[in-house]
Structure 1
Amino acid sequence: MPAVPDSVIDIARRHNQPVVVQTLRSTVGAVLAYLVALQLTNDPVPLLAPLTALLVVQVTLYATLTTGARRVVSVVAGVLVAVGFSELVGLSWWSLGLLILFALVLGRLLRVEESVNEVAISGMLVLGVAHVSQTALSRVVETVIGAAVGMLLNLVLAPPVYVQPASEAIETLAGRMRGLLLEIGSGTGQVSRQESVEWLYQARRLDQDIAWVDVELTRAEESLRLNPRVRQGELARLVLRSGLDTLEICAVVLRTLCRSLADLAAERSDEPVYPDRTAAPLRDLMWHLARAVDCFGRLITAQVSASAERAEQDLAQALLDGRATRQRIAGLLVGEMERHPERWQLQGALLANIDRLLDELDVERRSQMLAEATERYQQRRRPQDARALVDRARDALRRSR
């Protein structure tokens, strides 16, 4: 049997990506809108219908429905404005200016967002033709056909849910934080000023990773809205969003921790930051923290996609080992502060940041935060639906304790 080319395998793996989904759905929606418009209108070339379908069809069902509604509203508003102006003043340079101004203001008032300019465009196109009423009706009909086809396409063929890409993005973020902690742990003794500054730069670059994960998670949240495939989407959204919030706080704490190490390294010049008796347990602590961050990332995604039992156990053990090692280091750092009292602020900040990381990754604390978020969501849904959601969330939280 012949081997499958790598390019074909790569395409198969990418079939669920937003760009691929958007391309295929937009093409199909435009063609269908053109065929429907040929049957329902007298226009021999009804290109406005496929154009509208191209603009309406989005990656998620919620975006498609909202975009379609705003598109129809903007076109109808622009056509009505043009009809009114044609009856009152006709087309001239000053009437064109007034039409554009009025149309843009009306678009803002109607809150059609990205379709604001469409109000003015529709008005100008209708105002500039000889048969205003006929052109206006044709433009409205073709727009409605294109928007309806685009929305029906996503209703019949529901778009994919992008929870998995968001989960992978969270795991990637946790993996990068883990790598930074391991790198810090490997150089806590003989760390140079240059290495500590590089750690600080890496910690700062985590902000970009968090922004990327937030984009992926926002897309996942949008794909869950109004999607008939989803039955427990809100629970998945709460779990992933609370996990990202925790990792974002950890990134801030990690940046502060790197700042403390950089300041300590700057003061010691060519000498080791810590003697071997302190550097060894500090290295172990960083490894425990790295393992805890990695387990936390797997726990967040496992609660959405599969059993989280192994991730829970690994995280609990990593936190237990980390706290035990932290107690050892606290005693050793007291001796360091007695020998170098001028560094007590930096040593205290280092311990405080370590404590904060351990607390943020604690399963019990996160469970409480998720329960509070679920209770808040209860107020925005029907009581019976909210009660079921809270029960499911609490079941998930019990598994993580």
Structure 2
Amino acid sequence: MRWIANLRAKNRLPLVQVVKTSVATILAWVIAQMLLPTALPIFAAIAALLVVQPSINQSVGKAVERSLGVIGGVLVALGIGLLFGQSTWIVLLTIVLCILLAWALRLTPGSSNQIPISAMLVLAIGANTPNYALDRIIETVLGAAIALVVNLLIVPPVLLGPAHESITLLAEEVAQTLERVATALRVPQSEAALQELMITARLLRPMLVASDKAVTEAEESLTLNPRQAKPREQLATDKALLSRLRSLVTRTIGMTRALRDHYDDALHLEPTVQAFSLELERAVHDLRLLARDTESTVASDRGRQEELALTAPLRIATPHPQHWILIGSLMEDLRRVREEILGE
């Protein structure tokens, strides 16, 4: 059933993440029981469960969010309890007040939920328990701190693999799209084939968005990470390639659209179009070399330029009047494609 499928995530959490969460929760529970006079240190366990995140930076954010939410809720509950006492209506009014306070302060969802929950527990459970409010604050901060330490010590996650894979796939798809354009210039195409070519080219946009998201997650995983020095060099290389691909995606889609809009069955008979198709395949070859080049240095770029740049200026014969707009557009796009590939 569809509603059951919606309950399942598309990707399974890494096993190391599950192990870290379990270890942090157990340690928070045991240490809180040893240090605080409470039978069930639920606040410490909940804090540990929430604070262990895929990156150190996210864990710090969750720890601050959780701690401030608990402190805020406890302070509100203490103030209202001292002024009005404890009753069912007081608890309900306190919950509503905390929700409105979080809305007025524009707090994050985590803090917005934690403030009314903490206030409710303090008023409902801690009314007859001395130092209940203070113990809950200490317990929460302790659980969050333990989760941070565990997340820091047990294989701090570095999410470079997904970013590198996404960018590599994008580069290959751009190369394949340009190859399809080169083929369409040499061989007569049907209207359906041209529409399919355009639809396929447009798929580059969501791939580019996915690559940007993967890079953002990779940068997030390196923030405050003690293992960030060497991975940052690799990420910088991937980001440099992605920067070039961003422009290439625009040029590739534009080239495909121009071909679809101005195509006719006699286009492949133009000598200039045949020469253009060959140079476009050379550009594809250069792009694949760029994607495989993990160093992406100026020297390697120059090496590719000497080996694979245009061997001679194209001789543009006077085209048919119906073709000159398309040929001019394609030539300008090819020039800019090669500039991006060669880093000029």
Q: Could you tell me which amino acid in structure 1 is paired with residue 138 of structure 2?
A: V
Q: Could you give the per-residue CA deviations for residues 326-368 of structure 1, whole angstroms, max 9, x where no partner exists?
A: x42xx33x522xx21x4433332222211221122223x4xxx
Partner of residue 24, structure 2:
29
Deviates more, 1:227-236 or 1:21-30: 227-236
Partner of residue 362, structure 1:
342
Q: Could you tell me which amino acid in structure 2 is paired with residue 80 of structure 1?
A: L
Partner of residue 122, structure 1:
118
Q: Could you tell me which amino acid in structure 2 is paired with residue 35 of structure 1?
A: V
Deviation at 1:168, TM superposition (A): 2.1
Alignment coverage as a number of residue pairs? 330
User: How far apart, in 2, do the equivalents of 1:123 and 1:319 lie?
Assistant: 69
Partner of residue 52, structure 1:
47
Whether the aligned pair in 2 keeps the contact of 1:61 and 1:225 (CA below 8 Å) is yes
Q: Could you tell me which amino acid in structure 1 is paired with residue 251 of structure 2?
A: V
State which of 72, 92, 97 in structure 2 corresponds to 1:96. 92
Q: Could you tell me which amino acid in structure 1 is paired with residue 51 of structure 2?
A: V
Whether the aligned pair in 1 keeps the contact of 2:95 and 2:117 (CA below 8 Å) is no
Structure 2, unmatched stretches of 5+, are 1-11
Distance verdict in 2 for CA 1:361–1:83, change over 3 Å: same
Deviates more, 1:175-184 or 1:127-136: 127-136
Deviation at 1:73, TM superposition (A): 1.1
User: How far apart, in 1, do the equivalents of 2:223 and 2:13 lie?
Assistant: 16
Partner of residue 256, structure 1:
254
Q: Which has the higher helix share?
A: 1
TM-score norm. by structure 1 comes to 0.73
Whether the aligned pair in 1 keeps the contact of 2:91 and 2:123 (CA below 8 Å) is no
Q: Could you tell me which amino acid in structure 2 is paired with residue 348 of structure 1?
A: G
Distance verdict in 2 for CA 1:346–1:183, change over 3 Å: closer
Partner of residue 144, structure 1:
141
Partner of residue 74, structure 2:
79
Q: What does residue range 279-298 of structure 1 map to in structure 2 within 5 Å?
A: 279-298=273-292
Deviation at 1:311, TM superposition (A): 6.2
Whether the aligned pair in 1 keeps the contact of 2:94 and 2:119 (CA below 8 Å) is no
State which of 174, 189, 193 in structure 2 corresponds to 1:177. 174
Deviation at 1:146, TM superposition (A): 1.4
Q: Aligned residues: percent identity?
A: 28
Task: Name the SS for the 1:187 alignment partner.
Answer: helix
Deviation at 1:193, TM superposition (A): 2.2
User: How far apart, in 1, do the equivalents of 2:164 and 2:158 lie?
Assistant: 12
Q: What does residue range 226-245 of structure 1 map to in structure 2 within 5 Å?
A: 226-232=224-230, 234-245=232-243
Partner of residue 244, structure 2:
246
Q: Which has the higher contact order (CA 8 A, sep 6+)?
A: 2
Whether the aligned pair in 2 keeps the contact of 1:295 and 1:311 (CA below 8 Å) is no
Distance verdict in 2 for CA 1:238–1:295, change over 3 Å: same
Deviation at 1:173, TM superposition (A): 1.0
Whether the aligned pair in 2 keeps the contact of 1:75 and 1:122 (CA below 8 Å) is yes
Q: Could you tell me which amino acid in structure 1 is paired with residue 252 of structure 2?
A: L
Whether the aligned pair in 2 keeps the contact of 1:53 and 1:150 (CA below 8 Å) is yes
Q: Could you tell me which amino acid in structure 1 is paired with residue 116 of structure 2?
A: A
Q: Could you tell me which amino acid in structure 2 is paired with residue 256 of structure 1?
A: G
Q: Could you tell me which amino acid in structure 1 is paired with residue 64 of structure 2?
A: A
Q: Could you give the per-residue CA deviations for residues 194-222 of structure 1, whole angstroms, max 9, x where no partner exists?
A: 22222221121111111211221112111
User: How far apart, in 2, do the equivalents of 1:18 and 1:245 lie?
Assistant: 29
Distance verdict in 2 for CA 1:318–1:124, change over 3 Å: farther
State which of 350, 365, 372 in structure 1 corresponds to 2:330. 350
Distance verdict in 2 for CA 1:117–1:318, change over 3 Å: farther
Deviation at 1:191, TM superposition (A): 2.2
Task: Name the SS for the 2:39 alignment partner.
Answer: coil
Whether the aligned pair in 2 keeps the contact of 1:158 and 1:227 (CA below 8 Å) is no
User: How far apart, in 2, do the equivalents of 1:308 and 1:277 lie?
Assistant: 36
Partner of residue 41, structure 1:
36
Partner of residue 216, structure 1:
214
Deviation at 1:30, TM superposition (A): 1.4
TM-score norm. by structure 2 comes to 0.84
User: How far apart, in 2, do the equivalents of 1:18 and 1:108 lie?
Assistant: 35
Structure 1, unmatched stretches of 5+, are 1-16, 366-401
Q: Could you tell me which amino acid in structure 2 is paired with residue 173 of structure 1?
A: L
Whether the aligned pair in 1 keeps the contact of 2:258 and 2:329 (CA below 8 Å) is yes
**Pairwise CA RMSD:** 2.8
Partner of residue 128, structure 2:
131
Whether the aligned pair in 2 keeps the contact of 1:61 and 1:227 (CA below 8 Å) is yes
Whether the aligned pair in 2 keeps the contact of 1:81 and 1:123 (CA below 8 Å) is yes
Whether the aligned pair in 2 keeps the contact of 1:29 and 1:149 (CA below 8 Å) is yes
Partner of residue 157, structure 1:
154
Q: Could you give the per-residue CA deviations for residues 47-86 of structure 1, whole angstroms, max 9, x where no partner exists?
A: 3322211110011111112211221111111111111112
Task: Name the SS for the 1:191 alignment partner.
Answer: coil
